[in-house]
Amino acid sequence: MGTYDGGAGGTSTGTGGGAAGGVAGSAHRGLSGGSTAGGSAGGMPSAPYTKVVTTNDVSMLYPLQGTSADYLAPTTVGRFGPLLSRALVDSAKPNLRLERKTSEVSTYDTWRVVSIRLDPCSPRRGTSSCAPEVRLVLQTLVELGDAGIIATDGAIHLVYDVPAAELVTMMKQLLTLKKANGDVTPDVLQPHPILSQQGLSGAFAQGLAAIVLEHVGEDRLARLTFFDHNMDPDSDGWLFAIFDRTGSTLTAVKIPTTQVNNFLLAGTSAVDPLGSSGTFSIFTASTDDVGPLVDTARPDAGAPQVGPLLAPAYTAALRNQNPSVHNSESLDCNNCHLAEGARRLGEEVYGFIPQRSVHPQPQPRPRRPARQRDQPARLRLHSSSAKCRS
């Protein structure tokens, strides 16, 4: 199949904004400069591929390695413009900082793409129809010299509308790229093994950047959500908010299941031991509330209140992580982000054991469009934290 250097036919040197010196720059130059013979209309090849789709093919996590220049930046430009312009994000929250607890710079110029997710049937437009989409998660990356690179504890989710047929093409391109680079992805969600093995300047990373930039960009941006990390004022706090695209601006909208467009979650440090971790306050309107299990005032293991008070919260955590029960539009941000911590507390601290009974009849889901004959496989999208919208 040949090399993916230069994305879709360009050079490997690139001068695109943001991460121009690394993978994003080479992919940007390729998409701007030509197309690949035998590929899709946008350039990247869409065959041959193996017709097996795993979790890591539709939820792709970047390993933390290299430098920030190796990652796609919001300024990186593809067929549909930059991934996110400063002007558009400023229309939602001027000078947004993702990390407000430390002195680390965490504004627009520091954001990098750390995960990619494909969803052929998002419920974002209601349960009666599917919204095919691609979502990128961006975090501030901090380089620590010989100690490597870390991500701060705040994030932005960018949701792009991508037509259903084009999303199938994108999936084929990803599978083709995988086949050309070892054709191995385990089904358990983890940093993508080929990215981890080759590094972020390798052929797979360059091809992945080119595919992303072929299909998404600000022209297609439909929604932005974020949570920042802050002091509240003497504990850890996370502010959640959600915005939908309205013309050239972003407009605050209500968080699912609530009547508010932002709220603050306060709790112990994210690096505290699990048994002593918890929240001081949790705002929720969900019937599946994990709050009692993550509350710092919860009873000790072995106390008589554990069963009646915490067992329902543990069941809620399992339901919140089950995509046949909940989705991004049926959970508030707190219950989505806290579900994994609540599950771990329930099992590791209180000894709860998951039972089939905690997965009752699923709620109505959007109807999927008729499957195209050439669709490579059903897109399996289960992943707990990757499901959260903010």
Residue 225 neighbours by CB under 8 Å, 6+ apart: 156, 157, 159, 240, 241, 242, 243, 333, 389, 390
Q: Answer with the residue of higher pLDDT: 94 or 170.
A: 170
Give the pLDDT score at 359: 42
Query: Are 201 and 64 a contacting pair, CB within 8 Å?
Result: no
- Read off the pLDDT of each residue in 79-100 and give the average, rounded to a whole number: 92
CA distance 71 to 151: 12
% pLDDT > 70, the chain:
77
- Residue-wise pLDDT for 207-243, tens only, equals 999 999 999 999 999 999 998 877 755 667 788 899 9
pLDDT for 180 beyond 70? yes
Peptide bond into 299 cis (omega under 30): no
Give the pLDDT score at 78: 96
Mean pLDDT of the chain: 79
**Which sign does the torsion angle of CA 341, 347, 352, 354 carry?**
positive
- The region of weakest confidence among 1-10, 224-233, 326-335 is 1-10
Give the pLDDT score at 266: 81
Query: Are 281 and 338 a contacting pair, CB within 8 Å?
Result: no
- Residue 175 banded pLDDT, cuts 50, 70, 90: very high
Give the range with max mean pLDDT: 5-9, 308-312, 357-361: 308-312
- Residue 312 banded pLDDT, cuts 50, 70, 90: very high
- Read off the pLDDT of each residue in 310-315 and give the average, rounded to a whole number: 94
Q: Answer with the residue of higher pLDDT: 368 or 217.
A: 217
- Residue-wise pLDDT for 260-291, tens only, equals 888 878 888 767 788 888 887 666 667 899 99
Q: Answer with the residue of higher pLDDT: 101 or 214.
A: 214
- Residue 383 banded pLDDT, cuts 50, 70, 90: very low
pLDDT for 368 beyond 70? no
- Read off the pLDDT of each residue in 62-71 and give the average, rounded to a whole number: 95
Give the pLDDT score at 283: 66
- Residue-wise pLDDT for 14-52, tens only, equals 222 332 222 233 333 333 333 333 344 558 999 999 999
Give the pLDDT score at 96: 87
| Rg (the chain; Cα; Å) | 21
pLDDT for 366 beyond 50? no
pLDDT for 390 beyond 70? no
- Read off the pLDDT of each residue in 129-148 and give the average, rounded to a whole number: 92
Q: What backbone torsions phi and psi does residue 210 show, to the nearest 5 degrees?
A: -65, -40
CA distance 53 to 376: 8
Q: Which whole-number Å values give the CA distances from 222 to 73, 88, 246, 250, in the listed order? A: 18, 12, 8, 9
